[in-house]
Amino acid sequence: MERGLTSNIQLNWLRTFEAAGRCLSFTLAAQELSMSQSAVSQQIQLLEHHLDQQLFVRANRTIQLTDAGRAFLPLVQDTLAQLNAGAAQIFSPLNAAVVEVNANTAFSVLWLAPHLQRFNAIYPQISIRQLGTNWATDFDISTAELEIRYGSGDWPGFESHALVTPQLRPYCTAATARRIRRPEDLEGLPLLDVIGTPTGWDSWLKKMKLHQLADQPRQYMDSHATAVTMAANGFGVCLMYDDLMQQGGVLARQLVAPFVDSVVTEGNYYLCHQGGRSLSTASRVFKDWLLGELSPEAAGNDRS
């Protein structure tokens, strides 16, 4: 049998190429794969050498796919998706199942919706039924095995797994960002504040010593999803979690962070389930996938 180009090809090379090609960034690919940027670059170079083809054009700290890279990327993505789906069916056989998840609306809109297609590609036999929850009063009436809550993570009787890095940073449209070269330039702009969160604009302005802006009129809403939507439509500046913006979908990509300064918050999004109670197989699969998709640092910050 004639040896082809894929003989002795390494799976890690393909996974690294897929992430870098999708993100068009070695840095973001490294974060997603929990690798160093130099390791990503080395994996790509090994793959290019093996194929005897340049897959990326590297210039001015940016990368773009070559014609060969653009043609190769969907083939690799389809192959990896087929491999994942096949392995899941062979080694983790599941009957058709429905996992009910009571999910905080903001996390559902900003993170889960853009990523759920990836779960479905691996486990097409599992359906996810999302039910929105935003307030603590919703927790008491929940009957779902899994919940995605916003709060401090301290709920007696529940195991809680932190989902994002608890830091907030200002976000706005690129057009708005061009008007605010310094934090002081926020004066006169609508500041979008989320009701019920332990940390908001008061904390950020205090950290930046912008006491003169503390009494500036604000707009209030009860969800980060609403704040992001308003900011994306050019109405003001919101405070948001970097993880949700950098890993988000179409809505998140409409916003940029005009400043590097962030503020630590006690509020976080948590995956929760009752302690001491075994999860169904399908719920356990979804839990493992969700925590695996998020950063090891965030997913490792658990409470029970």
Helix axes 11-23, 26-33, angle to 10 degrees: 130
Distances (CA, A) of 69 to 9, 16, 17, 39, 196: 16, 13, 9, 19, 47
More confident residue, 285 or 142: 285
| pLDDT at res. 34 | 87
Q: Answer for the pair 208, 233: CB distance below 8 angstroms, yes or no.
A: no
* The pLDDT of residue 91 is above 90: no
pLDDT band at residue 233, thresholds of 50, 70 and 90? very high
Three-state DSSP class for 279? Answer: coil
Give, in degrees to the nearest 5, the angle at Cα 196 between 193 and 201. 30
State the Cα–Cα distance between residues 180 and 213, nearest whole angstrom: 14
Helix axes 281-293, 113-122, angle to 10 degrees: 120
Structure-token pair, residue 51? 């194929």
Tell me the domains of the chain and their CATH numbers. 11-91 (1.10.10.10), 97-165+267-303 (3.40.190.10), 167-264 (3.40.190.10)
Residue 256: strand pairing partners: 172
Structure-token pair, residue 131? 């039910």
pLDDT band at residue 293, thresholds of 50, 70 and 90? confident
| pLDDT at res. 198 | 86
Of the spans 93-102, 133-142, 213-222, which averages the highest pLDDT? 213-222
